[in-house]
């Protein structure tokens, strides 16, 4: 539950630290005193968007923090969540501190247990701690989507709804692909035919990886065969066969130096070098002879190579690519044709849609059954509450209206139908409820659905607008009853509701020079009498209004 709310330089609050207790707490004060400021501050620390205009005039920064006490049922879950998000635990996981700062530049920062957090993380934590029912909740109730969400949240169906939403998204995508395939017609067929003959041509050509480089090298050798033979033979003659060959000259020089080395050992290294040169010349001559013996310069082969080069070159020019890229083009064409054929496999796509429809319908029908039961239960509970809110004989029915093909939220729309009195036919809420009736029905629904809520702190912001008298007293009793299982905070202008509170906070506004400040103070018994008397009689308090105020308080 919410333990403390601290504000610094927020709107017209300079500094405030407010402590809250369990049970039912009411917040009252004159119009414009700043009751909404507290809820705005709490909404910010729970992840709502911030604005620099919320900083108190003349200040550079606003700061809001809220300390929550985690109940036993939530400790394990919150500790696990904090660990997954990388936040530290405080007080052995029994406390959670949320903080928000707003700079004059418009920049906003969020913190969880002292560590920087994102707004999404702040909202995720806040959604599990506080549920705020605004004074315009009854207007939202007129929307079908809000009615469906309220029923599902009350019956704890949200996980199943999320699963069905994902299944429907997948099914819709498969249906789209099937429709595209069925409507593609001649364009797809022409593309498939083009890929087929392209693949046929490339397969027949059968370009190999690295072939273009290898065939260019072979062509250069074959085309220059005579030059190669002549050059190699000339080299052999120079090295070995001519009268003045390198080999004979080197042999003579080697013999002379070897003989001289017998007289001077310093010539031994030169003698060995000349012998080594003779050996290398001899090996070169033998290698050239072997090369010429094996050299195949068949003109027919040259013709084949030139024909192959021309085929590869023509294909590359036709498909606007390089010759050495033809093997990759063959692979890409094969893959594209396979993908296109798969996408055009109408029967396979139809079977996929059929299977996904079966899975979707199975889960959606399960949700429908759960919704039927939840709709009956919620309708009975709200109908019972309406009897105590000056709507005797009225009833609420929750209709499940089938959708032809289902949707992201299941197989039906949810519509709240209300009958205001005995004998009237239930009709859509927006068509039959007056402003006062709508406010009372909305309050009844809020209270009933909140009973099943796992959220520890529930806030009601003037949801009792439009009611009064005995109905207001009933509203107060409902909220006090709800306070036995939840922490309830209620901003109210009704003395009958305020008198039911276990705790009472008064919001007031004061002026200091040219500044207006808002403050909140807890009221004791005597102060509560004065405040409720003010709510009953206005600014002029009389003994009668004070006596009535004491009677209201003593009746609880």
Three-class SS state of 359: helix
Three-class SS state of 161: helix
pLDDT at 142: 74
Q: Average the pLDDT over 527-536 and give the result.
A: 91
pLDDT at 7: 92
Three-class SS state of 522: strand
pLDDT at 68: 93
Q: Average the pLDDT over 192-204 and give the result.
A: 89
pLDDT at 367: 96
Q: Average the pLDDT over 33-55 and give the result.
A: 86
Rounded Cα distance between 75 and 22, Å, is 18
Three-class SS state of 60: coil
Q: How many residues does the chain have?
A: 556
Distance of CA 387 to the CA centre of its chain: 44
pLDDT at 136: 59
Which residues in 392-502 belong to E strands, given as ranges? Answer: 395-407, 410-419, 427-428, 457-461, 487-491
500: closest CA among 477, 482, 481?
A: 477
Residue 250 tokens read as 């080197």
In this structure, of 108-117, 178-187, 273-282, 283-292, the range with the lowest mean pLDDT score is 178-187
Residue 33 tokens read as 């005193």
Q: How far is CA 383 from CA 40, 153, 171, 491, in A?
A: 33, 19, 39, 25
Rounded Cα distance between 138 and 460, Å, is 12
* DSSP structural state of residue 315: H
Q: Which residues pair with 540 in a beta bridge?
A: none
pLDDT at 392: 82
Q: Average the pLDDT over 513-526 and give the result.
A: 82
Q: Average the pLDDT over 214-223 and give the result.
A: 81
Q: Residues 294, 204: contact at Cβ < 8 Å?
A: no
Residue 94 tokens read as 């029994």
- 396 Cβ neighbours under 8 A, 6+ residues apart: 378, 379, 382, 383, 386, 416, 417, 418, 426, 441, 445
Q: How far is CA 538 from CA 55, 528, 535, 541, in A?
A: 32, 14, 6, 7
Q: Average the pLDDT over 383-397 and give the result.
A: 85
Most confident of 135-149, 392-406, 449-463: 392-406
Rounded Cα distance between 405 and 411, Å, is 7
Q: How confident is the model at residue 358 (pLDDT cuts 50, 70, 90)?
A: very high
Characterize the bridge pairing of strands 61-69 and 427-428: unpaired
User: Model confidence over 412-468: pLDDT tens digits?
Assistant: 999 999 887 787 888 888 776 666 677 677 778 877 887 777 788 888 887 666 677
Domains of the chain with bracketed CATH: 1-129+455-522 (3.40.50.300), 188-343 (no CATH), 523-556 (no CATH)
307 pLDDT more than 90: no
In this structure, of 273-282, 300-309, 393-402, the range with the lowest mean pLDDT score is 300-309
- Start-to-end C-alpha separation, the chain: 24
- 277 Cβ neighbours under 8 A, 6+ residues apart: 250, 254
Only one residue has tokens 């039912």, namely: 24
Q: Residues 212, 312: contact at Cβ < 8 Å?
A: yes
Q: Residues 141, 416: contact at Cβ < 8 Å?
A: yes
pLDDT at 527: 93
333 pLDDT more than 60: yes
Q: Average the pLDDT over 515-539 and give the result.
A: 86
pLDDT at 489: 92
pTM of the model: 0.61
Q: Average the pLDDT over 273-283 and give the result.
A: 87
């Amino acid at each position: 539950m919410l333990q403390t709310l601290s504000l610094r330089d927020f709107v017209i609050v300079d500094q405030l630290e407010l402590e809250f207790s369990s049970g039912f707490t009411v917040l009252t004060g004159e119009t414009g005193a700043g009751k909404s400021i507290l809820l705005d501050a709490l909404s910010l620390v729970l992840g709502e968007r911030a604005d620099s205009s919320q900083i108190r005039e003349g200040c550079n920064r606003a700061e809001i923090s809220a300390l929550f006490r985690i109940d036993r049922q939530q400790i394990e879950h919150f500790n696990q969540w904090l660990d997954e998000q990388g936040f530290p635990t405080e007080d052995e996981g029994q406390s959670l501190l949320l903080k928000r700062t707003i700079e004059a530049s418009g920049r906003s920062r969020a913190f969880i247990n002292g560590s920087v957090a994102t707004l999404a993380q702040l909202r995720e934590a806040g959604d599990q701690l506080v549920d705020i029912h605004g004074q315009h909740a009854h207007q939202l109730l007129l929307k079908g989507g809000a009615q469906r969400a309220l029923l599902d949240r009350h019956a704890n169906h949200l996980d199943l709804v999320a699963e069905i939403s994902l299944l429907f998204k997948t099914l819709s995508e498969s249906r789209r692909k099937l429709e595209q395939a069925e409507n593609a017609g001649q364009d797809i067929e022409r593309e498939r035919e083009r890929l087929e003959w392209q693949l046929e041509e490339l397969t027949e050509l059968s370009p190999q990886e690295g072939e273009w480089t290898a065939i260019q090298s072979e062509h250069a050798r074959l085309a220059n065969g005579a030059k190669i033979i002549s050059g190699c033979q000339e080299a052999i003659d120079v090295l070995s066969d001519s009268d003045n060959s390198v080999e004979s000259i080197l042999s003579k020089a080697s013999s002379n130096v070897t003989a001289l080395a017998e007289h001077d050992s310093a010539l031994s290294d030169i003698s060995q070098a000349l012998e080594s040169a003779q050996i290398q010349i001899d090996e070169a001559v033998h290698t050239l002879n072997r090369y010429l013996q094996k050299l195949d310069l068949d003109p027919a082969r040259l013709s084949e190579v030139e024909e192959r080069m021309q085929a590869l070159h023509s294909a590359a020019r036709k498909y606007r690519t390089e010759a050495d890229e033809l093997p990759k083009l063959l692979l890409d064409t094969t893959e594209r044709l396979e993908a296109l054929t798969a996408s055009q496999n109408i029967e396979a796509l139809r079977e996929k849609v059929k299977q996904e429809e079966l899975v979707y319908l199975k889960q959606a029908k399960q949700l429908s059954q759960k919704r039927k039961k939840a709709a009956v239960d919620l309708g009975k509970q709200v109908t019972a509450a309406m009897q105590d809110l000056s709507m005797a004989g009225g009833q609420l029915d929750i209709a499940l209206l089938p959708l032809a093909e289902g949707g992201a939220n299941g197989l039906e729309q949810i519509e709240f139908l209300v009958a205001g009195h005995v004998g009237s036919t239930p009709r859509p809420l927006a068509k039959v409820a007056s402003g006062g009736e709508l406010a009372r029905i909305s309050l009844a629904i809020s209270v009933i659905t909140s009973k099943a809520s796992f959220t520890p702190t529930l806030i009601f912001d003037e949801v009792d607008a439009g009611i009064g008298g005995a109905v207001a007293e009933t509203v107060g009793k409902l909220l006090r009853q709800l306070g036995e299982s939840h922490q309830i905070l209620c901003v109210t202008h009704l003395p009958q509701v305020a008198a039911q509170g276990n705790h009472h906070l008064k919001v007031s506004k004061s002026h200091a020079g040219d500044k207006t400040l808002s403050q909140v103070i807890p009221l004791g018994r005597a102060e509560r009498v004065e405040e409720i008397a003010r709510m009953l009689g206005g600014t002029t308090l009389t003994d009668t209004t004070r006596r009535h105020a004491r009677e209201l308080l003593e009746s609880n």
